[in-house]
DNA sequence: TTTATAATTCGACATATTTCGAATTATAGG
DNA sequence: CCTATAATTCGAAATATGTCGAATTATAAA
């Protein structure tokens, strides 16, 4: 009996595609990479930014940003939640954990 | 003093792009996912396949396979070594470890 | 209701990627 | 040297992606 983790190939290729664009990876980084030293970003309540705050840091048109956020959301990496006029974005912690698992031992990707 | 790991954004986006294509992810899986249960693929000497063996399992033209292998190699994910007429491919274990680190705690991506 | 702000959708265009088959290179063996 | 096998390079075609500005939707506030 195997103790392999079995994961989905198609789902992962969508996640990797989402992270393959430099602007999207930058967004990912802004939302994960600014935890305090010693804290664990992936399991804490995530950092939350509204779209406008991300826009200020990214040097792309806001319509382009919108498109990228949709891609990250579609890939299961990003949570989006409206509060009044603003929409707050945060990284989905469970997807982050999944990705970590992929590169640790005994993982196998399930075809289809 | 911070104990953040600092990593390179551009380098990682290239790695993710390499893994974002379903055929390339399948190659990646073939070369990492077939370890014996209980072993650690990422730190063992890697599984090695010649290009022809991969070709048999992939249902794409061999020229397309060649292209994908070059991409994986360019991204630092794949080692290639000629032995006679054949070229053997294996996953670069240190890059695998790097990727695992990215999704674990306290990582920060370095812009540029 | 009108206005202002935050964000998304749409359409167009340029660029990049995937894929194939044909031609080429590299190696081994007769 | 000639032939067969393994793999790569090249050029072309189809498809996908990234980007922008203009128009639109959603919400809040005067």
Neighbours of B105 (CB within 10 A): 16
* Residue numbers in B near A106 (CB within 8 A): 35, 37-41
Q: Given this model, what pLDDT does residue A2 score?
A: 39
Contacts of A36 (CB under 8 A, 6+ apart): none
What pLDDT is recorded for position B84? 96
| A9 vs A36: which has the higher pLDDT | A9
What is the predicted pLDDT for the residue at A109? 57
* pLDDT given for residue A33 in this prediction: 66
The string of pLDDT tens digits covering residues A92-104 is: 999 988 888 888 7
The span from the CA of B50 to the CA of B30, in Å, is 12
pLDDT digits (tens, 9 = 90+) for B7-18: 588 999 999 999
Question: How big is the A-B interface in CB pairs under 8 Å?
Answer: 111
pLDDT at A8: 82
CA of B87 to C1' of C16 (A): 28
> Would the CB atoms of B42 and A106 count as touching at under 8 Å?
no
Segment A11-54, tens digit of pLDDT: 999 999 999 999 999 999 999 864 333 333 333 445 789 999 99
Q: Are B63 and B57 in contact (CB under 8 A)?
A: no
- What's the angle, vertex CA A36, arms to CA A32 and CA A42, rounded to 5? 35
CB A35 within 8 A of CB A41: yes
> Are β-strands B107-110 and B49-50 bridged in parallel, bridged antiparallel, or unpaired?
unpaired
Through-space separation of residue B65 CA and nucleotide D9 C1' in angstroms: 13
Q: Return the structure tokens found at B112.
A: 């540029």
User: Measured on CA atoms in the order A59, A60, A61, A63, is the torsion positive or negative?
Assistant: negative
Q: What is the pLDDT of residue A41?
A: 39
Give yes or no for residue B1 having a pLDDT over 50. Answer: no
Q: Which residue has the tokens 């075809």?
A: A111
- Sign of CA pseudo-dihedral B70, B74, B76, B77: negative
State whether residue B109 sits within 8 Å of chain A by CB. Answer: yes
CB B32 within 8 A of CB B96: yes
Give yes or no for a contact between A72 and A54, defined as CB atoms under 8 angstroms apart. Answer: no
Is the pLDDT at B38 greater than 80? The verdict is no
pLDDT class of B105 with cuts at 50, 70, 90? low
Among the ranges A2-6, B50-54, B107-111, which has the highest mean pLDDT value? B50-54
Sketch out chain A's domains with CATH numbers.
5-33+43-110 (1.10.10.10)
């Amino acid at each position: 009996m195997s103790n392999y983790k079995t994961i989905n190939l198609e789902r992962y290729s969508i996640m990797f595609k989402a992270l393959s664009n430099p602007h999207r990876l930058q967004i990912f980084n802004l939302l994960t990479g600014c935890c305090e030293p010693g804290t664990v970003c992936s399991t804490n309540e995530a950092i939350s930014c509204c779209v406008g705050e991300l826009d200020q840091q990214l040097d792309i048109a806001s319509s382009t940003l919108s498109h990228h956020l949709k891609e990250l959301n579609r890939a299961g990496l990003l949570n989006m939640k409206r509060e009044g006029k603003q929409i707050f974005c945060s990284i989905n912690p469970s997807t982050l954990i999944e990705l970590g698992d992929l590169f640790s031992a005994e993982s196998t990707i399930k075809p289809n």
